[in-house]
Structure 1
Amino acid sequence: MTNSLLEDLSWRGLLYQQTDKEGMEELLSNEKISLYCGVDPTADSMHIGHIVPLLTLRRFQLHGHRPILLVGGATGMIGDPSGRSEERQLQTTEQIDKNVQGIKTQMEQIFDFQSENGAQMVNNRDWIGSMNVIEFLRDFGKLVNINYMLGKDSIASRLDTGLSFTEFTYTLIQGIDFNHLFNHYGCRVQVGGSDQWGNITTGLEVIRKTHEEETKAFGITIPLVTKADGTKFGKSASGSVWLDAKKTSPYEFYQFWINTADSDVIKYLKIFTFLERSEIEALEVTVQNEPHLRKAQITLAEEMTRLIHGQEALDQAIRISQALFSGNLKELNAEEMKDAFKDVPSVEMSKEEKNIVDFIVEASVSPSKRQGREDVTNGAISVNGEKITDVGYIIGKNDRLEDEFMIIRRGKKNYKMIKFV
């Protein structure tokens, strides 16, 4: 019996490896299951690269299955060697706890916790933290041999550069997690990124060694998301695109998706949004026939910003974008303006009052006083969205937003932020 969920995941390009394809199809066709995905709290926010397995888990939830969201309060203190060439910097318990709380808040934005198959959130420190070293070595260390662990890519790739015993044990500890969730939550499937294949199969090995032979659990991995040119996905000009609005504002988040290349946008709509296949295929036609309208990019940006930040933040991001496009900055408040122009060139200046021409020359907005006078007279200079045409205008306190910054525009698109010190 073909499973519509697995068909949909395959169409979206979300199935990379499966431990038992036929068994998984049979399981999903006959019962509603619990399945899990883990996130280690290495920072107090996830970035967009982290959420593909979580969004996949959400797809299972929409088909009636129950997601278990594991935040690794214990594994986060150990460090996953997967995909790394060097040891992780160990974090304090206090930092881990802070990170766990930040990630929990973001998961609550993505998942439904209230329905009959509402998501459950767990922290592996609750069972790993109370385990003593003898218990770990006797009950679990005996289940896998060294050669088995050395065959894992995450371990083998680090043997030349060095791997501590701490990180060496990570794959077994994650295996203990899967076994614990299998025993206490009836969890049958682990979902993870492609770099987690070794850890997932270790979990299946632990389950196999501690249960009857007919016991069945499964693993699925999702391919690494890349751009059409093969480069890494998830970075903007200013760095990682975070889910935390304080690290990446909703406007920046919205702009990241708006700027998606035509060659990538349909792929990202499949991976990141919950739009139906027919909707995505219709948008694919617009990319081919009306690329200048950027309907697919706008839809992607709206869907993702609404999902992560909510409708109000999306409305604000759209308002900022429209104000910048029209050049009508008067529609923006000071906080929105600061957000919109965070990455434009800036210059520090004193708070003393100055003539507009002297001011724009000192700020390197205009190259000379003669050019500055022409720019002002010709209406090419705007201060905080207000056009200044009087060469006698004095820049003063009323022009400083929050008494600390100002936005000057020369021409249509040359912006500069003035920071007052």
Structure 2
Amino acid sequence: MGFVEVMKERGMLAQVTHEEELVSHLAEEPRTAYVGFDPTADSLHVGHLLPVLALRRWQQAGHRVIALVGGGTALVGDPTGKTEMRKMTSAEEIDERIKNFKVQLGRFLDLNDPKKGLILNNADWLRPLEYLPFLREIGSQFSVNRMLTAECFKQRLEKGLSFLEFNYMILQSYDFYHLNKEFDCSVQLGGDDQWSNMLGGMDLVRRKSQRQAYCLTVPLLVNSQGKKMGKTESGAVWIDADKTSPYDLFQYFRNIEDDMVEKCLMYFSDLPVEQVKGLAALEGQKINEAKVTLAFEATKLIHGVDEAEKAKAMAQKLFEEGAGQPDAPEVIISESDVSDEMGLLDFLMLSKIFPSKAEVRRLVQQGGISVDGEKLTDPKGTIRKDQFVKPDGVLLKKGKKHYFNIKVQ
């Protein structure tokens, strides 16, 4: 089964240009496709994964991938889906983030053999560009009237769109043109919110080079209500294990809505389609079996089978066996940061489990935090160091299902 057919079968195809022509193009010989990833943070998150997994499927179909990190485009900032201009980030910080992206992308793609996959940085050709020659060669190919109709600009036009951001579509389009010319890359893959930007690149390639170029988008990761997935009360679900532990990632997928099970198993596992449909058809309490399978497969995909096994065993110990001191994720607080007696909120913030003191206060007021089974109720209360300095630490429960083993040492 070809790439386009697999993407359709697994519900991973949102839009595609010249479908019949593309299918024939892919049947002739191995082709090259790329996805761009701007380093807007120091880690990829779950929301990035569908385009990454589209590249993975492309590679599994026998084609070559290019994972393109946006060391150049990140200096401009994509206005797509943003109500205001992104915070300006220095080139040095962007370059540091790219180092993490390269490691993380290597978990999903074979980037060791140039015939199978490459990882490139568009800073290599965008940062050296000279403004006037670029305007004459590339800017002349774009109609401002047509650009203003693009979905990625519409929302921002009402609140203000900087000229800097207005250039983003042209720069992303230039990426496709450059990769087509230098690496024979004929397909751009991406999230469905990138459709307008991607069409700009495809049109530029076809107009200037008279070569084949195609676009294919994957759906955005949204739940049944149309809200973006990949976020929890404490923020984004990250690929970096230091930012979101494998256990927390496991729990995120274990607790998704029932009607998202089939979709997520199609996306985040290699299980056969018939097996996925069988799991998704389970009803009542049995649907939890499918959710455990999903959580295991997603954690295995992102962190490897060993971490998935550990997370699954930890979850079983916590919720099925009712163990007294479960093997929850360990959080170390430096003893030098803890005074003999200090404010409860100040102490809990040292754990870095909570995004803000206001969030800790809210959870305490709602009875959502307990220590060794005892609920904390007074956000203005204090704690003593000796309450937490114990050989095995103490078990902190956050909300209904999140546990942490807190150690002061």
Large movers: runs of 4+ above 6 Å: 412-421
What is the CA-CA distance between 1:322 and the residue it aligns to? 2.2
State the match for 1:41 in structure 2: 39
In the superposition, the TM-score normalised over structure 2's length comes to 0.81
What is the CA-CA distance between 1:229 and the residue it aligns to? 2.6
1:321-370: CA deviation from partner (whole Å, max 9, x where unpaired):
122122324452772799xxxxxxx94799xxxxxxxxxxxxx9xx9xxx
State the match for 2:288 in structure 1: 294
For the residue of structure 2 that corresponds to 1:127, the secondary structure is helix
State the AA in 1 paired with 2:73.
T
1:18 and 2:16 aligned: yes
State the match for 1:201 in structure 2: 199
1:6-405 matched pairs, under 5 angstroms? 6-114=4-112, 117-212=115-210, 215-285=211-281, 287-288=282-283, 291-292=285-286, 294-325=288-319, 326-330=321-325, 332=327, 335=330, 347=344, 400-401=389-390
Change in Cα spacing, 1:74 to 1:416, as seen in structure 2 (3 Å) is: closer
What is the CA-CA distance between 1:216 and the residue it aligns to? 1.1
Change in Cα spacing, 1:54 to 1:157, as seen in structure 2 (3 Å) is: same
What is the CA-CA distance between 1:31 and the residue it aligns to? 1.8
State the AA in 1 paired with 2:330.
E
Change in Cα spacing, 1:336 to 1:396, as seen in structure 2 (3 Å) is: closer
Whether contact under 8 Å (2:247, 2:329) holds in the other structure is no
State the match for 2:377 in structure 1: none
Whether contact under 8 Å (1:70, 1:121) holds in the other structure is yes
Whether contact under 8 Å (1:39, 1:71) holds in the other structure is yes
In the aligned structure 1, how far is the partner of 2:402 from the partner of 2:251?
18
For the residue of structure 2 that corresponds to 1:120, the secondary structure is strand
Aligned length: 368
In the aligned structure 2, how far is the partner of 1:295 from the partner of 1:413?
17
Whether contact under 8 Å (2:247, 2:311) holds in the other structure is yes
What is the CA-CA distance between 1:194 and the residue it aligns to? 1.1
For the residue of structure 2 that corresponds to 1:294, the secondary structure is helix
Whether contact under 8 Å (1:77, 1:90) holds in the other structure is yes
Instruction: Please provide the CA RMSD for this pair.
Output: 3.2
1:97-123: CA deviation from partner (whole Å, max 9, x where unpaired):
111111111101111224574221000
Segments of 5+ residues of structure 2 without an aligned counterpart are 334-342, 348-363, 375-383
State the match for 2:337 in structure 1: none
What is the CA-CA distance between 1:408 and the residue it aligns to? 7.1
In the aligned structure 2, how far is the partner of 1:271 from the partner of 1:142?
40
In the aligned structure 2, how far is the partner of 1:333 from the partner of 1:153?
45
For the residue of structure 2 that corresponds to 1:305, the secondary structure is helix
In the aligned structure 1, how far is the partner of 2:401 from the partner of 2:209?
66
What is the CA-CA distance between 1:382 and the residue it aligns to? 9.7
Change in Cα spacing, 1:348 to 1:237, as seen in structure 2 (3 Å) is: closer
What is the CA-CA distance between 1:315 and the residue it aligns to? 2.6
In the aligned structure 1, how far is the partner of 2:253 from the partner of 2:291?
7
State the AA in 2 paired with 1:400.
V
Change in Cα spacing, 1:383 to 1:122, as seen in structure 2 (3 Å) is: same
In the aligned structure 1, how far is the partner of 2:238 from the partner of 2:115?
28
1:19-76: CA deviation from partner (whole Å, max 9, x where unpaired):
2111111112222100000010000111111110110110010010111000000001
What is the CA-CA distance between 1:415 and the residue it aligns to? 8.2
What is the CA-CA distance between 1:291 and the residue it aligns to? 3.8
In the aligned structure 1, how far is the partner of 2:322 from the partner of 2:33?
49
Change in Cα spacing, 1:183 to 1:323, as seen in structure 2 (3 Å) is: same
State the match for 1:376 in structure 2: none
In the aligned structure 1, how far is the partner of 2:402 from the partner of 2:203?
60
In the aligned structure 1, how far is the partner of 2:52 from the partner of 2:346?
46
In the aligned structure 2, how far is the partner of 1:245 from the partner of 1:76?
24
Change in Cα spacing, 1:193 to 1:349, as seen in structure 2 (3 Å) is: closer
In the aligned structure 2, how far is the partner of 1:282 from the partner of 1:93?
49
In the aligned structure 1, how far is the partner of 2:97 from the partner of 2:396?
39
In the aligned structure 2, how far is the partner of 1:413 from the partner of 1:88?
34
What is the CA-CA distance between 1:320 and the residue it aligns to? 2.1
In the aligned structure 2, how far is the partner of 1:142 from the partner of 1:9?
35
In the aligned structure 1, how far is the partner of 2:165 from the partner of 2:306?
42
Whether contact under 8 Å (1:68, 1:120) holds in the other structure is yes
State the AA in 1 paired with 2:223.
K
Question: Which has the higher mean CA deviation after the structures are superposed, 253-262 or 142-151?
Answer: 142-151
Whether contact under 8 Å (1:347, 1:417) holds in the other structure is no
In the superposition, the TM-score normalised over structure 1's length comes to 0.79
In the aligned structure 2, how far is the partner of 1:291 from the partner of 1:23?
46
State the AA in 2 paired with 1:123.
N
What is the CA-CA distance between 1:314 and the residue it aligns to? 1.7
The higher radius of gyration belongs to: 1
What is the CA-CA distance between 1:146 and the residue it aligns to? 1.5
In the aligned structure 2, how far is the partner of 1:45 from the partner of 1:399?
32
State the AA in 2 paired with 1:159.
L
Whether contact under 8 Å (2:328, 2:404) holds in the other structure is no
